[in-house]
């Protein structure tokens, strides 16, 4: 049965794995317990409370530091093959450096990893999801070239501590968000506005940091632990507003997806074609004596090239792009427009809006994005490391179910019709959490979290029941009665 045609079927290939994700700052809370150091998110939310919609912060969040057993239980209720979470750098290394390793910090992650393992759930671990230790920020953070070595040192600690049990690693999550998103707007940690300079420097250093951490694993840890390492890129699918903008849309993809992919995944390595030239031109026009977009040396190109075991893709939404009119106001990249390309980003009126302004629904975008990756970088193994949908509170989340269903259907088409090797799908998020500048106002959770309850009680939404049945059946063709709301929690 099912509505996808007999030839296709709603069945996922054998070995396909389903997960759900969270990140340390968004769920852990316990911002100052034991010897945890302060990070740039702790500082940003305390210094700029009005930058967060509901004036909230992640001091307590879902209190997963204390509620990790419930988190593991939820992962088991869903039947997840793996749980994606991130490590808090300053919880493990209070100074940011490996001169001191926090026993309590390591213990927390051991409890979580072992708890998952006891239920047969793998851990997919993100080493960095935006919570940089403050002492490193005070030395320039991602704009200091030494960050690549500091990150490698930190990676060595976590591979050593957890590598015997963790086989899937992501070095960094969404460089486009913590480089371009932060420095181009100044709204978000570390709260530094440096649109023409900071974001570009960060871009380069993230790639070097990732590469060093990958090479370290490859050389010292792979032989004994045999795991796999990549990074998670946020890919915004971009289409031309009309045919005349086809080349512009391709350049925009190179300047977004390509900026963090070409150096690692292409055969040639280095920045993607066309991008350095375009940015150099804009810099000169703005009065800089030379390009502020840093180039790679030959050695750096070689260092970064090939540092992957799979492609990690976060995907949510799509844009249309067109040339800007002269004097048209352009909002900062990547959640506004594309000023580097003198281009305006819009959306199709066929794409339904959601509760957040950056998110319009275009399920076909994910299939096109996957095909683009294959066409650009060859027949890679692709793991979808995030995909999910925002709502306001409420357990009856049919719009979220619809989003998952339609995206999963497109992924099946991608696998079966386009021959793309997608092997993992990660729903974002396991539970509602601190959604950055939106605070707790918008919810991405399969489980609803009651943030007024000191216990932070978690309750499954209808989408949790739906996702659990997809996982159980390994198929989109699931009996219709399984999506009825059902309280799993006492
Ligand atoms: C991507 C980020 O990695 C995650 O932290 C965030 O919550 C989701 N997108 C939703 O905005």
Please give the pLDDT value at position 335: 87
Å from CA of 388 to ligand 1 middle:
9
Å from CA of 403 to ligand 1 middle:
16
Please give the pLDDT value at position 65: 98
Atom of ligand 1 nearest to the CA of 444: 10
Q: What is the pLDDT along the chain (490 residues), one digit of tens a residue?
A: 344 444 446 899 999 999 999 999 999 999 999 999 999 999 999 999 999 999 999 999 999 999 999 999 999 999 999 999 999 999 999 999 999 999 999 999 999 999 999 999 999 999 999 999 999 999 999 999 999 999 999 999 999 999 999 999 999 999 999 999 999 999 999 999 998 999 999 999 999 999 999 999 999 999 999 999 999 999 999 999 999 999 999 999 999 999 999 999 999 999 999 999 999 999 999 999 999 999 999 999 999 999 999 999 999 999 999 999 999 999 999 989 999 999 999 999 999 999 999 999 999 999 999 999 999 999 999 999 999 999 999 999 999 999 999 999 999 999 999 999 999 999 999 999 999 999 999 999 999 999 999 999 999 999 999 999 999 999 998 766 555 444 544 4
Digit-coded pLDDT (tens) for 257-300: 999 999 999 999 999 999 999 999 999 999 999 999 999 999 99
Asked whether 67 lines ligand 1 (CB < 6 A), one says no
Å from CA of 429 to ligand 1 middle:
9
Asked whether 23 lines ligand 1 (CB < 6 A), one says yes
Active site residues: 174, 386
Please give the pLDDT value at position 461: 98
Quick one: 405 exposed, middle or buried, by C-beta within 10 A (0-12, 13-18, 19+)?
buried
Residue indicated by tokens 């979290």:
449
Digit-coded pLDDT (tens) for 16-70: 999 999 999 999 999 999 999 999 999 999 999 999 999 999 999 999 999 999 9
Digit-coded pLDDT (tens) for 419-465: 999 999 999 999 999 999 999 999 999 999 999 999 999 999 999 99
Residue whose Cα lies nearest atom 7 of ligand 1: it is 435
């Amino acid at each position: 049965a099912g509505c996808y045609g007999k030839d296709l079927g709603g069945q996922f290939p054998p070995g396909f794995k389903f997960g759900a994700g969270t990140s340390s700052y968004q769920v852990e809370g316990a911002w100052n317990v034991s010897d945890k150091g302060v990070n740039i998110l702790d500082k940003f939310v305390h210094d700029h409370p009005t930058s967060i919609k509901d004036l909230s912060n992640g001091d307590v969040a879902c209190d997963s530091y204390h509620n990790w057993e419930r988190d593991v239980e939820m992962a088991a209720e869903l039947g997840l093959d793996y749980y994606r979470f991130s490590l808090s750098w300053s919880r493990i290394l209070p100074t940011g450096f490996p001169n001191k390793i926090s026993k309590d910090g390591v213990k927390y992650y051991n409890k979580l990893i072992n708890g998952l393992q006891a239920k047969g759930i793998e851990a997919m671990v993100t080493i960095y999801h935006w919570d940089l230790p403050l002492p490193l920020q005070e030395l320039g953070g991602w704009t200091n070239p030494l960050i690549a070595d500091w990150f490698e040192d930190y990676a060595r600690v976590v591979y050593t501590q957890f590598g015997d049990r963790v086989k899937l690693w992501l070095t960094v999550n969404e460089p486009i968000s913590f480089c371009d998103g932060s420095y181009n707007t100044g709204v978000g940690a570390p709260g530094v506005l440096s649109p023409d300079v900071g974001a570009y420097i960060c871009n380069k250093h993230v790639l070097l940091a990732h590469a060093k951490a990958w090479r370290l694993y490859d050389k010292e840890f792979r032989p004994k632990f045999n795991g796999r390492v990549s990074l998670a890129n946020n890919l915004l699918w971009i289409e031309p507003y009309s045919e005349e903008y086809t080349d512009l849309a391709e350049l925009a993809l190179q300047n977004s997806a390509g900026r963090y992919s070409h150096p690692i995944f292409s055969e040639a390595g280095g920045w993607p074609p066309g991008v350095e030239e375009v940015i150099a031109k804009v810099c000169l026009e703005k009065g800089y004596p030379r390009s502020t977009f840093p180039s790679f040396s030959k050695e750096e190109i070689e260092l970064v090239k090939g540092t992957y075991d799979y492609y990690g893709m976060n995907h949510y939404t799509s844009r249309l792009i067109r040339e800007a009119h002269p004097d048209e106001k352009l909002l900062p990249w990547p959640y506004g427009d594309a000023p580097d390309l003198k281009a305006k980003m819009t959306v199709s009126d066929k794409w339904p809006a959601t509760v957040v302004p950056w998110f319009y629904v275009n399920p076909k975008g994910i299939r096109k994005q996957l095909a683009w990756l294959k066409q650009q970088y060859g027949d890679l193994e692709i793991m979808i490391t995030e995909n999910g949908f925002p709502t306001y509170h409420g357990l009856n989340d049919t719009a979220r179910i619809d989003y998952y269903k339609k995206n999963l259907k497109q992924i099946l088409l991608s696998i079966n019709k386009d021959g793309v090797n997608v092997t993992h799908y990660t729903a974002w998020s396991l539970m509602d959490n601190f959604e950055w500048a939106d605070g707790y106002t918008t919810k991405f959770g399969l489980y609803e979290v009651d943030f007024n309850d000191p216990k932070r009680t978690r309750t499954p939404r209808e989408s949790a029941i739906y996702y659990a049945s997809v996982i159980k059946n390994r198929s989109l063709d699931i009996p219709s009665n399984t999506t009825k709301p059902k309280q799993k929690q006492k």
